[in-house]
Structure 1
């Protein structure tokens, strides 16, 4: 009489951490919000289960190595955070940055946000003619701008100035900002510039209503 076959051992999930590490780290490094495992799996081209296992191993590895950052699973997604043990060092950097003067690029970007808020990064880029991602991150870190929801049509994140911004420039509301018209170029010149950098149509209504496309640029502007 034949003996019943022994139950098969559960399959061991092979996690190609070495292959997935560069892709996962690169994507998570630029994320400004937690990314869920489904999105990450779609980006790196591996099954969700494999990606989750790789993320968990990466998080454990960072903990074992006592890295200055950690990988957390929060709000349904994964994101890098500075490790709490080094909060004092990070705080010192942030506080020193608050005292530093804003660059010309940051001032110009802040002005666009102040007068056109709520506004998307793409719109700010179109007005300025350069990519403003780095500058916007600086303004967010400095507490001068903040997220203001999403555009109903495009889904793009919108930004506005903060109460701290008003305090820094010495006004109590946006109504006290100086009139901008005297400092603007003629309408025809402005339309030509917007059309050049953002591909916008040359009509006043279209310039106002058409969502700008972020212009192509060969270099990232320094904050």
Structure 2
């Protein structure tokens, strides 16, 4: 081939050459039956399915267009798409579904006044010790303020109606008690001729502990003028007096009254004890100095 023929051939090739970006996109091969089934299932996703429209095509380093894929082809096996390993276009990770919030507990039922009154009366009839408003409110799943107001209303109603029993606060709680004016009839029924009263020495010792608590055994004996070890053991055994620590100076045991003591007397605290001054002799100061 001569030089002129070679130049003509190169010129023809140069004129016929088409850059990669201007070349037509080759037709996509027809999908197989498996791919067609996947396409049909993805079309049924509705608004939650993959986005519609073309996805940007990939271009090879030489400039060739590798092909264009539609939004419906994303995730189809055997198809190459422009979605990278991140799971979405541009490498943005897919959004995860939100966690479902835990179901809120059902609100406690609100009892009407009649039902709340009946429930409180039923509980107070079976308790063996004073029960606080907080415990009653927790059991009935009601507000403590409402329970306290209802208890006050029940107590006032019993008093106004003149029942043989009353509802009163004692030892930090509420309990039903018989009225003092009917005490003789109750004692006649309960005791049935048997005397279970405390002795005079036990009553005196209990009074000293109640008004001077916390107090040591030696101090009680000094006030009464006799040894009170046996009487004090009796009071502890009956649950009316208990130990409450030791004295810092001497290390002697200290004694105080118990909750049962308040319950038996129908008192809410020792502050409700009657004042002792009217029962003291005029020369009490001299007697106190003589015992020291």
TM-score using structure 1 length: 0.42
Structure whose alpha-carbon radius of gyration is higher: 2
Which gives a bigger RCO, structure 1 or 2 (Cα 8 Å, sep 6+)? 1
TM-score using structure 2 length: 0.32
